[in-house]
Amino acid sequence: MEGRKPDITGTSPSDIAARLNSRYGNLNARSSRDVTVIGHKRNPFLAMPQTEMEKQVEREVQEKMEKEMAERQKRKKNTYLEGRLELSAKMELLTMNKENSPDLKTPKRCICKRPSKSFKCGGCLKFFKGRIADTCPRHPTETFLMDFRMCPYCSGPVDMIKQQDQEEA
């Protein structure tokens, strides 16, 4: 076995060692990081050359993607233009309404700071003092938590609550 050259393709320990020695320079290094590769590096992730069929499939996929992107851009542009047209039409209607409507020219009266009054529930016949909840025409998003939305005693609807005059209470 001494005079025989080891077979690099075999699976015996000496064949494996010969194969490794032919590929790597210093296998006796202290660390695996210090081992050097002899010859040129082979990249296992290097792409194989494409066949004609693979090239054709890739071209078809690319064309399909380009067509879809063009359609998306067209739809996006159309929706943007439609939105702009709708917005301009709404603005035009608003300006026409402002010019023609006497209601918009007069300032709206605020009811946010109205005083408390006496009320009587028609269901339970109890009296209470405060304010009935109402929407301010000038500040429609404002809500007052202490305003009554129902009778505080029997939870009757606001329709049953009547304002009491100062003379009757």
Predicted confidence (pLDDT) per residue in 65-85, tens digit: 999 998 888 877 777 767 777
Query: Total domain count for the chain?
Result: 3
Identify the domain boundary among 70, 85, 103.
103
Asked whether residue 97 falls in the same domain as residue 117, the answer is no
Amino acid 169: pLDDT: 47
125 and 96 within one domain: no
Position 55 scores a pLDDT of 87
Concatenating the DSSP letter of every residue in 19-31 gives: HHHHHBS-TTSSS
Provide the domain limits for residue 11: 1-46
62 shares a domain with 9 = no
Q: Are residues 114 and 169 in the same domain?
A: yes
**Model pLDDT, residue 105:** 54
pLDDT at 144: 92
Burial of residue 151 (CB within 10 Å: 0-12, 13-18, 19+) is: buried
Tell me: do 66 and 119 sit in the same domain.
Answer: no
Residues 32, 71 within the same domain:
no
Do 97 and 64 have their domain in common?
yes
Residues of the chain with pLDDT under 50: 1, 169
Question: For residue 1, what pLDDT is reported?
Answer: 45
12 and 56 housed in the same domain: no
CATH number for position 119: 2.20.28
Q: How far is CA 48 from CA 59, 61, 72, 74, 91, in A?
A: 17, 19, 34, 38, 61
Three-state SS at 68: helix
* Chosen domain end from 86, 103, 120: 103
